Amino acid sequence: AQSVTQPDIHITVSEGASLELRCNYSYGATPYLFWYVQSPGQGLQLLLKYFSGDTLVQGIKGFEAEFKRSQSSFNLRKPSVHWSDAAEYFCAVGDVGSARQLTFGSGTQLTVLP
Amino acid sequence: DAGVIQSPRHEVTEMGQEVTLRCKPISGHDYLFWYRQTMMRGLELLIYFNNNVPIDDSGMPEDRFSAKMPNASFSTLKIQPSEPRDSAVYFCASKMRGLSGGYTFGSGTRLTVV
């Protein structure tokens, strides 16, 4: 069965600093990977996704993620964090064959200090 | 496109009452998913539909939960009778056919059972 681990429950960074959120997955075949962001009281918004091709994926709001098969990782990065990036971030893995279901990680809460 | 629309946004009900949550997916999307989010268990897939047909309901916690999709533009999740442990945020998401289609989430319904 597929699974996703986000080892950091909570991360605090200063505005303008760089950010990396970790995501490790377990899946038997080529995974279909996502990062979502959830602001308080809101639904999940798709930041970016990977299912083939270039392992460095660009997303919205200046985010990017790199797929590393050897490490089973799909870490999310941003070179300079803005106060509006404070939110909860979820990594998810789906089935390339069916792309029907997503399995979500437990999320990482990001706090941005002024 | 108005996105995935859920109603109500908030619902407070007494234990034992019937609760109905509603979802309107994005037009043209073939898949519809119901998720539940709690602090303890994170995001859990409850059930999903493909072309209005329930495909996998293994995540539905108990017989008190039921979901229907009478047509391509409407789905309901019903809890009868409701219990305090059902308190959570319930999300609906839809997706178009194919690998390139991402999941679009609604803003969720926050259910409180007292």
pLDDT digits (tens, 9 = 90+) for B51-69: 999 998 989 988 999 999 9
Instruction: Provide the 10 A C-beta neighbour count for residue B20.
Output: 15
For A96, the closest of B99, B104, B108 (CB atoms) is: B99
For B43, the closest of A46, A90, A99 (CB atoms) is: A90
Average pLDDT, chain B: 92
Residues A29-51, mean pLDDT to the nearest whole number: 89
For B107, the closest of A42, A90, A100 (CB atoms) is: A42
d(CA B43, CA A104): 6
Give B-chain residues touching A99 at CB under 8 angstroms: 95, 98-99, 101
Confidence grade of residue B100 (pLDDT, cut at 50, 70, 90): low
Q: Do the Cβ atoms of B55 and A100 come within 8 Å?
A: yes
Confidence grade of residue A100 (pLDDT, cut at 50, 70, 90): low
Distances (CA, A) of B39 to A16, A105, B85, B87: 29, 13, 12, 11
Q: For residue B39, what is the nearest residue in chain A, using CA coordinates?
A: A106
Confidence grade of residue A99 (pLDDT, cut at 50, 70, 90): very low
A11: β partners = A110
Task: Tell me what pLDDT residue B9 has.
Answer: 95
Q: Do the Cβ atoms of B31 and A100 come within 8 Å?
A: yes
Distances (CA, A) of B35 to A14, A89, B109: 33, 16, 11
Instruction: Provide the 10 A C-beta neighbour count for residue A67.
Output: 22
Task: Tell me what pLDDT residue B1 has.
Answer: 63
